[in-house]
């Protein structure tokens, strides 16, 4: 570990000793962003069209499809007890109605390897990508969407039964709904996130509710929820109503749809101030990350407090939080402040059950390789993994003596 990492704040300084026993301590990765070669997905198709408008292709990604055992071993040996990863619908069902048992078995292998190492697996069933055939039918807005997704949920039952401890149905429905327009937004995420189309919002909420019911029926006792992109929207003086109106279609409607779930995943990176005119105020002089978002670590605490107000009865798991920086010391700085703000929100009564850092690996950022969120760097030619000091630092913050088996 570098000198900088050694002098970075520890458990007690951050206040993590005050967390409830059994607090989940993990990393998150997404399927398409790490696996590579997801040939049957809509994103693969788009990335490989001439004039796709997508700057850089995903290609082999970081080859986690073949190297997941290494990724899991790095996670566990750093001290983490939890691992969130995605299963890729387009691999499991590459053609309408054809379930690849070989691919189901592949993911069973990931779950078994994770649990044998002492990691609790959280599965994401859908993370932005769709099977190309499903997209061609109209995707989430098509008439058969619910039936198709439930059929997929039934098909992946062996993966869940192999030892998943929790399942996230859909990753960031609110970002999915605006993904095509995100790059045009002036400050990304909090600085002018486009407003989702209400038809898409309704469709995603409908499918999520049906998915939760089906997962509970198939797997009694399984913990089920979804993860919502939740930034720290704050109000300029006197603009409380405007801030609330801004947040409502962008995340609050999705948060409320998690009522009755076992958890809601809070996925926070940044924040923004909503002005009297109802629009985000963009500060051109602000410190920014590699993807242009404002460097605002304590947004995590702010977002958690807001989620607690919107859905006070739903337990929170931070399922994504992290920062795209090239200097790893800045990642440690950001994460230490983010965690401190999380503990502050917990002290004030928020029911937070776990923290998953985005991300284990430097990965493909939806059209770009430059924004590096990883605790581990990856050589894209050899796929060699090189842990950064932040991996050992963050892993060591897990509760001492806690293993996921304990």
Contact positions toward ligand BGC, by CB under 6 A? Answer: 30, 33, 171-172, 175, 229, 267, 320, 358, 365, 373
Q: Are strands 280-281 and 271-274 parallel, antiparallel or unpaired?
A: antiparallel
DSSP-derived 3-state class of residue 349: coil
Complex with ligand BGC: residue 229 or 308, whichever CB lies closer: 229
Complex with ligand BGC: residue 152 or 373, whichever CB lies closer: 373
**Residue 197's CB: how many other CB atoms inside 10 A?**
13
Q: Shortest distance, CB of residue 27 to ligand BGC, whole angstroms?
A: 13
Complex with ligand BGC: residue 229 or 258, whichever CB lies closer: 229
Complex with ligand BGC: residue 30 or 387, whichever CB lies closer: 30
Q: Shortest distance, CB of residue 291 to ligand BGC, whole angstroms?
A: 6
3-state secondary structure 164-183: CCEEEEEECHHHHCCHHHHC
Query: Is residue 272 within 8 Å of residue 193, measured between CB atoms?
Result: no
Residue with tokens 């089906």: 214
Query: Is residue 56 within 8 Å of residue 374, measured between CB atoms?
Result: no
Q: Shortest distance, CB of residue 320 to ligand BGC, whole angstroms?
A: 6
| Region of residue 30 (phi > 0: left; psi between -120 and 50: alpha; otherwise: beta) | beta
Q: Shortest distance, CB of residue 362 to ligand BGC, whole angstroms?
A: 11
Q: Shortest distance, CB of residue 380 to ligand BGC, whole angstroms?
A: 16
CA dist 385 and 287 (Å) reads: 29
Q: Shortest distance, CB of residue 128 to ligand BGC, whole angstroms?
A: 6
Complex with ligand BGC: residue 174 or 404, whichever CB lies closer: 174
Complex with ligand BGC: residue 239 or 361, whichever CB lies closer: 361
Of how many residues is the chain composed?
Answer: 406
């Amino acid at each position: 570990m570098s000198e900088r990492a050694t002098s970075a704040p520890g458990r007690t300084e951050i206040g993590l000793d005050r967390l409830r026993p059994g607090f989940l301590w993990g990393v998150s990765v997404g399927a398409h962003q790490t696996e590579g070669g997801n040939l049957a997905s809509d994103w693969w198709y788009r990335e490989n069209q001439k004039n796709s408008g997508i700057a850089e292709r995903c290609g082999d990604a970081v080859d986690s499809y073949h190297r997941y055992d290494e990724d899991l071993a790095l996670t566990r040996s750093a001290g983490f007890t939890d691992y969130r990863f995605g299963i890729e619908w387009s691999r499991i069902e590459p053609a309408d109605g054809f379930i690849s048992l070989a691919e189901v078995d592949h993911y069973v292998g990931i779950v078994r390897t994770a649990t044998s190492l002492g990691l609790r697996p959280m599965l994401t069933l859908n993370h932005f990508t769709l099977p190309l055939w499903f997209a061609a039918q109209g995707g989430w807005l098509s008439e058969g969407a619910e039936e198709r997704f439930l059929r997929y949920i039934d098909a992946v039952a062996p993966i869940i039964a192999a030892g998943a401890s929790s399942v996230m149905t859909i990753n960031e429905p609110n970002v999915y709904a605006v993904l095509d327009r995100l790059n045009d937004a002036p400050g990304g995420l909090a600085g002018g996130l486009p407003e989702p189309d209400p038809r898409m919002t309704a469709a995603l909420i409908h499918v999520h509710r049906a998915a939760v019911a089906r997962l509970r029926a198939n797997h009694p006792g399984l913990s089920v929820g979804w993860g919502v992109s939740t930034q720290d929207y704050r109000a300029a003086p006197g603009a409380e109503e405007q801030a609330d109106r801004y947040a409502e279609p962008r995340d609050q409607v999705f948060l409320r749809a998690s009522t009755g779930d076992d958890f809601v995943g809070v996925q926070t990176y940044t924040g923004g101030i909503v002005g009297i005119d109802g629009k985000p105020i963009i500060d051109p002089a602000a410190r920014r990350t590699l993807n242009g978002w404002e460097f605002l670590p304590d947004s995590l605490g702010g977002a958690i407090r807001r989620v607690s107000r919107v859905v006070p009865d739903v337990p929170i798991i931070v399922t994504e939080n992290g920062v795209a920086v090239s200097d790893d010391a800045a990642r440690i700085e950001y994460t230490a402040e983010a965690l401190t703000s999380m503990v502050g929100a917990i002290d004030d009564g928020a029911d937070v059950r776990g923290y998953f850092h985005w991300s284990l690996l430097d990965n493909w950022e939806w059209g770009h390789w430059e924004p590096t969120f990883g605790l581990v760097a990856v050589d894209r030619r050899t796929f060699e993994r090189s842990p950064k000091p932040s991996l050992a630092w963050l892993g060591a913050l897990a509760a001492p003596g806690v293993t996921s088996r304990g």
